[in-house]
Copies of this chain bind each other. A is one copy, B any other.
C-alpha cells in the first residue's frame, strides 16, 4: 500500500485497511464491525460447503425454517427470555424501531410515552416518536454544559402515571454511557413497561426481564450479534394483539402481524438471521452470557485503567464510573490536541488497530472511541492498552 503518502492520511479518513497483514488487524469500529473470529470462520466455511447457502434458500423452505427456529431458540436460551415474550426478527434497524415502538404501543397520537434522554440515540428515538405520540422527556444532560455524561435518576414526578412506556437506551455508543443493569421504576410506576434500545449491548450481560419490567427490547444486529439488515425485537405478549397498534403502523413494523405470521409476514433477512444463530451458538460454546459479561468487564477495565492512570494525558467524559460503557470507551488525548490525536490514529493504524475514529455526523468532536463488542478479544484489547500506555509515556 502506498496510500500512506496521500495528502490526507488514510488513518485519519477512517480507513479500515491498515498497513499490516490481515491476521494482525484489530477492529475497534463502533459498528458494523467484525464478528468473533470463530463465527467469521463458520460463515466462510458455509460458502465452501456443498448445498444452498441461506442466501439462496426460500424463506418458506423447511431448511430455512430450521435456521429461523434455531436462531430464535438460541437467542431465547442465551438471554433467558421467558415464555411470555415473543422473539421477532424484523427489518429497518434501530431507526425503524424508533418509529415501530410508539406505533405499536400508542394506539392514539395523544398517548403519552416517557423518554429518558442520556445521549445521541435516545434523543433520536424521541425525535422519531414525537410523530406518533406525546413524548415526555426525562433529561439527563448536564445542566451547565448540556453534555450527556450520566444516566438520570428516575423519580415518580418524572413519569406520568398514564405513560404507555418508559423508553431508554441501555448503552449510548457515542456518549459512552451504559446501564450495566436495567433500572427499576419507582413503585408507583412499576406497572409501566420499559422499552429498551439494546442495539449496542444486547448479549453482553444478563437481563432480568420480569423484575425489570421489560415490555419491549430491540437490538439492531450490527454491533454484537450480527451484521446490518436485521433487527431483533423481544416483546412481552400482553403488549401485542389485534387492535393494540396504531392503525397507521406499517405492517412491516407491526409486532402483531409479524408474530402471527411467525416472522414470515414478509421475506425476512434470511442470511442475517442465520448469522445471529451462529453468534448465539458461539456465546453458548464460550460459556454463556455470564462469561461474556466477565470478558466485557475485563476488556473495558484494561482501557479505563490506562486512561485513569495517565495523569490526565487521556481523559474520558463519563465521570460516573459505574455508568461507564464497557462497549464503547470514548477518550481524548491532552484535551483533544489535534496533532497528538492524529499521531495516535496513524501509529495505531500502522499496527493494525482500526476503527478508533469514524467520521460520523453526530458531533463526537475530538473524541476517539474504542468499541469492544463481541468480536474483540481481551488479548486484542490489551494490545491497544499497551499501545496507549507507551504512547502516553512517549508524548506526555
Tell whether A148 is near chain B: CB-to-CB under 8 Å. no
CB distance from A3 to the nearest CB of B (A): 10
Q: A363 at interface (Cβ–Cβ under 8 A)? A: no
Given A22-B50, A34-B52, A222-B267: A16 and B93 interface contact (C-beta under 8 Å)? no
Total number of A residues with any Cβ neighbor in B under 8 Å: 76
Looking at the complex, which one of B62, B91, B266 makes contact with A10 (CB distance below 8 Å)? B62
State A21–B33 Cα separation when bound (angstroms).
35
Q: Which of B17, B30, B60, B132 contacts A14 (CB 8 A)?
A: B60
Q: A22-B50, A91-B96, A92-B96 are in contact. Are A15 and B61 (CB under 8 A)?
A: yes
User: Given the known A-B contacts A25-B52, A27-B52, A58-B358, are A250 and B15 also in contact in the complex, defined by CB atoms under 8 Å?
Assistant: no
Closest to A45 in B: B47
The quantity of this chain's copies bound in the complex is 2
Residue in B33, B34, B61, B271 whose CB lies within 8 Å of A16 = B61
Q: A227 on the interface (CB 8 Å rule)?
A: yes
A47 to B60, CA, bound (A): 27
> Which residues of A are interface residues toward B (Cβ below 8 A)?
10, 13-17, 21-22, 25, 27, 29-35, 40, 43-44, 47-48, 50-53, 55-63, 91-96, 98-100, 103, 128, 131-132, 220, 222, 227-230, 247-248, 250-253, 261, 265-272, 275, 355, 358-361, 375
